[in-house]
Structure 1
Amino acid sequence: MSRFIFEIDGQKWFKEQVTDEIGHSLRIDNILFEGEVDHQHLIVFENEVFGRLFALEGFIQVSTRDEFIYHEMLVHVPLFAHGNAKRVLVIGGGDGGAIREVFRHQTVEHCTMVEIEGSVVDFSKEWFPTISDGAFDDPRLNLVIADGAKFVKDTDQKFDVILVDSTDPVGPGKVLFTEEFYRDCRPCLTEEGIMITQCGLPFLQPNELRTAYLNQKASFEAPTFYSIAVPAYSGGIMTLGFARAGGENPDLETLSERVKSANIHPFRYYSAAAHQGAFALPAYISHILDTGEFG
């Protein structure tokens, strides 16, 4: 039995140790896959509440029951804020959930997805096919197996929206939170382009949020953040970075009109009201952005 699985009264439990002081557990109803890749522990298991889950080195990465919250808000906030996005770049996102939501927009003509490991895509297709829901077969997709940071540094392509669907800033994902990476993303955006970044759980990771903010501020005039709550991610509200190359953010009436005309219902989480409300940050998060300290 691995260091992330323990047994109580004949039942197996998965333990996620979020910090040195905090952890939580999920009952394992069925283990579908468990192994080691590059000295990292991988497990796919089922839980009655969360459905099918994937954990990497002891941390939950995705759950089939609540992934719609993250993916809908990651994608539809920038696409509706832009209003006419035709070219989208996804960095990371190997589970296919982001491109699934991107391709619901008929205005999108092209999407490049850059994933550092092709095995991540293959793994997701095998164990989590409902998340991508056929998106890898969409003819608008250009799948590139490469380093996302190197891709934005070297490419001369322009995109209306860049989605950085990354892990936390450890290991290979660390470079996707640096000032250099954000600086390289900036010229890849069109005149009114938008970049979205995954910025963690500020209640437990205030330094991660503050660092992302300062690094983005070096290349973008007014980066801001919006929040979502994904039940499978222990630690409360999650923040997503929102940085514009130019243009204005639409008001609620304009957003509502765009959502209605897009005709891509039903959403399970996203709405024009949820979009606008997500930018109303709790005071403690604003304090972290201002001072780097938990308020």
Structure 2
Amino acid sequence: MKAEYREEICDGCDQRFSIDDPLYEIKTDHQHLIIFRNRYFGRVLALDGVIQTTEADEFIYHEMMAHVPLLAHGRVHRVLIIGGGDGGLLREVLRHRDIRRVVQVEIDASVIDLCRRYLPNHSQGAFDDPRATVVIDDGMHFLEHTDERFDVILTDSTDPEGPAEVLFSRRYYAACQRCLAPGGILVTQNGVAFLQLDEVRVSAGHFNHLFRDWHFFGASVPTYVGGIMTFGWASDDPRPRQTDRKTLQERFTHSGIVTRYYTPQLHGAAFALPQYILDAIGKTSA
């Protein structure tokens, strides 16, 4: 009988991947990690029973998390990534030529080491880029002690359990606000809204108390079953979120970046949310 990897999505609902080729499994200092190959999704990374990323569709998540804030801002030179040990987000950020420095803070060095070895298509050499600095630390600890300021902060975390729980707290979002340069943007991973609506609702409440401008945008990522994958957006400057399509297209064309999911047209549409999410966050529109 073929081995399977079962992920419990919620009580009474799960998804299963056939393990066609087991590649590596370990209990790190922080979490249980497994990497295996699936015939359809390619190589798959799971942490503590939750599928984190697959070779087949990682580009959707990473392109949207990176290019939406960077192209909306238009003057990004310094980026902070919290989490993201697989390297996919770092890869997309570094595709922007104007980037001068990216600091990536990952709590578990094993994730980076093993993803570089078993999921090299995610990072594609990004960890060796001289503009990238990797810090092995707790993201909350780093934010509360750094003197650096960033144009964009990206939280590419696991779900709010275990080491990542604090990354969804008001304390964390306040620390991010402190570390943003004027006009800076925070983007966060906020789960699949249909199944994790409380996660979106709680983050919305924190954003509302801390930032002048905030909202959520979405993308459909097949691996993350249950509907729209939501990303939080928070800034003290309302202008980036209102960047018009013409300007986005000009910036995108000038960047020379070739994408598989992101487009300037999709950028604006991603902020148009279903009514059930708008109701949950107390908004009538974008």
* Distance apart, 1:34 and its partner CA: 2.5
Alignment of 1:276 onto 2:268: yes
Partners of 2:107 and 2:26 lie apart in 1 by 20
Partners of 1:222 and 1:212 lie apart in 2 by 13
Partners of 1:37 and 1:140 lie apart in 2 by 28
1:116-143, Cα deviation, whole Å (9 max, x unpaired): 1222211111111110000000000111
* Distance apart, 1:261 and its partner CA: 1.1
Partners of 2:174 and 2:202 lie apart in 1 by 14
Contact 2:5/2:19 (CA < 8 Å) preserved in 1?
yes
Partners of 1:28 and 1:113 lie apart in 2 by 30
Alignment of 1:259 onto 2:252: yes
CA shift in 2, pair 1:160/1:209, >3 Å: same
Partners of 1:93 and 1:146 lie apart in 2 by 13
Partners of 1:117 and 1:54 lie apart in 2 by 14
Contact 1:165/1:197 (CA < 8 Å) preserved in 2?
yes
Partners of 1:145 and 1:219 lie apart in 2 by 27
Which residue number in structure 2 is paired with residue 159 of structure 1? 150
Partners of 1:252 and 1:34 lie apart in 2 by 45
AA partner of residue 47 (structure 2): L
Partners of 1:89 and 1:286 lie apart in 2 by 28
Name the SS of the counterpart of 1:24 in structure 2.
strand
* Distance apart, 1:35 and its partner CA: 3.3
Partners of 1:142 and 1:35 lie apart in 2 by 26
AA partner of residue 233 (structure 1): Y
**Which of 64, 87, 93 matches 2:55?**
64
* Distance apart, 1:147 and its partner CA: 1.2
Contact 2:30/2:163 (CA < 8 Å) preserved in 1?
no
Larger Rg: 1
Which residue number in structure 2 is paired with residue 3 of structure 1? none
**Which of 29, 34, 40 matches 2:20?**
29
Which residue number in structure 2 is paired with residue 99 of structure 1? 90
1:132-191, Cα deviation, whole Å (9 max, x unpaired): 000000000111111111111111211100001111100010111110111111121111
Structure 1 residue runs of 4+, over 6 Å off?
A: none
* Distance apart, 1:40 and its partner CA: 4.4
CA shift in 2, pair 1:106/1:35, >3 Å: same
Partners of 2:129 and 2:196 lie apart in 1 by 36
TM-score normalised by length of structure 1: 0.92
Partners of 2:145 and 2:28 lie apart in 1 by 29
Partners of 1:54 and 1:166 lie apart in 2 by 14
Pairwise CA RMSD: 1.4
Which residue number in structure 2 is paired with residue 224 of structure 1? 215
Contact 2:213/2:238 (CA < 8 Å) preserved in 1?
no
Out of 35-44 and 278-287, give the one that drifted further: 35-44
Identity %: 47
Q: Paired residues, what number?
A: 281
Contact 1:183/1:218 (CA < 8 Å) preserved in 2?
no
Which residue number in structure 2 is paired with residue 7 of structure 1? none
Contact 1:189/1:245 (CA < 8 Å) preserved in 2?
no
